[in-house]
Structure 1
Amino acid sequence: MNTKDRILETSIDLFSRQGYSSVSIRDITGVVGIKESTLYYHFKNKEDILLTIFARFQEGYKKIFPPPAMMEDILIAMTPEAFLRKGIENYKTHIADHPEMSRISRILYIEQFSHQRAREILLQDVFGQSIGFLEVMFGKMIEAGKIRSLRPKTLAREYQYPVFAMFMEYQILKFDNKDTSELEAQLYEHAAFFIERIRV
């Protein structure tokens, strides 16, 4: 691992456990084992490190969504419930259980009320992209006659917001090394319950 990546890895770990404002440049360089001048060769300041971390999260978050060109094939190949289950699995794999992405998401939750960029990413990328994607997919399911003709955006919100809350609880349990099996079962039960209520 090169020096820049070591700085980022250490910063992600410290920010996710202590909060951005509680960590100093000296804290970071002390853990990495470098001089402060070496850090400033790679990053302008601590804010630059944080923004780089946020950009990394944005790139990683895109991985939970299939390419637009695959949407039609997915709808043909999968039942609505299987589609929602796959979404849960994708989020677990790429965010909640991913060592780096789960820690960055904790930074976003910690910093959302003190850092404008954290709020923007949560609102636009996490909430906005997820709801927008589901709105499109529910609309296509309605057109295909797989679910009842209801407002797609409302369906997206009604389904996804409980999922957001459960995944936040999931990450809290994981942070404390507590069992998540019951909560995981509830996530899949939520998907089944939701589709049962809107199935044609």
Structure 2
Amino acid sequence: MMSNTKQKILDVSLDLFSRKGFSAVSIRDICAQVMIKESSVYYHFKNKQAIFDELLYHFEQVATDMMVRLEQSLSVQSCSMEKPFYQTVCDTFFESYFMDDFCNKIMRLLLIEQFGNSEVQKIYDRWMVAEPLEFQSKVFGTLMEIGIIPKSDSGYLAVKYYAPIYFFAQRWLFSGELSEEQKNSFRNAAYQHIEKFFAEMEVA
């Protein structure tokens, strides 16, 4: 079980990293916020990089779990364009991922650090772009198989569906402090896009 001090170091570090970037934050900055001596940090972590690595490790566990839950919702539910299925997807992806406090801060951190760290860039690309697109492609492929939407290129539909959502997330969820007002702006834009997207599919 993780000690309270270790968890507080992780929480404070993530908050500082997500606002200032990894390089701009020192161990001394972290200690000042946690209100501990530097030696106490080194009892739990070898160095600042070790804190960063543990945060990323935990994030990848959370993100992997999210994708597993999405895959399960796709396989166990009757796949249709009715609200319950897509509500499950959106609640999981929007509410429990993009707008989750921990995940949101990690993605802000990844967004900052990707420009100077190729490994971080790969992590950012995987969890912000590649994994969501792959899942959405599977969803559209399944919808085509059961005749809910017309036959088309599922990969292209995934991009067409996800690109505005990614844009709305960048505009409202990953710029400035995350507030309820920003969350609601994202929700309104994202759900309007989803409704129009499927309405156009029905017309086609």
Query: Which TM-score band (shorter chain)?
Result: 0.7 to 0.9
Q: Provide the C-alpha distance between the structure 2 equivalents of 1:13 and 1:193, rounded to a whole number of angstroms.
A: 36
Q: Provide the C-alpha distance between the structure 2 equivalents of 1:146 and 1:156, rounded to a whole number of angstroms.
A: 16
Q: Against the structure 1 CA distance between its residues 16 and 70, is the aligned structure 2 distance closer, same or farther, given a 3 Å change threshold?
A: closer
SS in 1 for 2:173: helix
- 8 Å Cα contact 2:168-2:186 kept in structure 1: yes
Q: Which residue of 2 aligns with 1:53?
A: 55
Partner of residue 73 from structure 1, selected from 72, 76, 98: 76
Counterpart residue type for residue 195 of structure 1:
F
Counterpart residue type for residue 125 of structure 1:
W
Task: Indicate whether 1:162 and 2:164 are aligned.
Answer: yes
Q: Provide the C-alpha distance between the structure 2 equivalents of 1:139 and 1:176, rounded to a whole number of angstroms.
A: 34
Counterpart residue type for residue 62 of structure 2:
G
In the TM superposition, what whole-angstrom CA distance separates every residue of 1:14-46 from its partner, at most 9, and x where no partner exists?
111111111101111122122222212221211
Q: Against the structure 1 CA distance between its residues 62 and 174, is the aligned structure 2 distance closer, same or farther, given a 3 Å change threshold?
A: farther
- 8 Å Cα contact 1:142-1:148 kept in structure 2: yes
Q: Provide the C-alpha distance between the structure 1 equivalents of 2:70 and 2:179, rounded to a whole number of angstroms.
A: 34
Counterpart residue type for residue 18 of structure 2:
S
Amino-acid identity (%): 28
- Structure 2: runs of 5+ lacking an equivalent: none
TM-score normalised to structure 1 length: 0.87
Q: Which residue of 2 aligns with 1:109?
A: 111
Q: Which residue of 2 aligns with 1:127?
A: 129
Give the CA RMSD over aligned residues: 2.3
- 8 Å Cα contact 1:102-1:171 kept in structure 2: yes
- Structure 1: runs of 5+ lacking an equivalent: none
Q: Which residue of 1 aligns with 2:5?
A: 3
Q: Provide the C-alpha distance between the structure 1 equivalents of 2:72 and 2:108, rounded to a whole number of angstroms.
A: 32
Structure 1 residue 95: deviation in Å? 2.4
Query: What aligned pairs does 1:1-200 form with structure 2 within 5 A after superposition?
Result: 2-65=4-67, 66=69, 68-74=71-77, 76=78, 78-79=80-81, 82-172=84-174, 175=177, 177=179, 179-180=181-182, 181-199=184-202
Q: Provide the C-alpha distance between the structure 2 equivalents of 1:88 and 1:69, rounded to a whole number of angstroms.
A: 14
Q: Against the structure 1 CA distance between its residues 42 and 21, is the aligned structure 2 distance closer, same or farther, given a 3 Å change threshold?
A: same
- 8 Å Cα contact 1:138-1:155 kept in structure 2: yes
Q: Against the structure 1 CA distance between its residues 52 and 186, is the aligned structure 2 distance closer, same or farther, given a 3 Å change threshold?
A: same
In the TM superposition, what whole-angstrom CA distance separates every residue of 1:81-103 from its partner, at most 9, and x where no partner exists?
65444333223321233222211
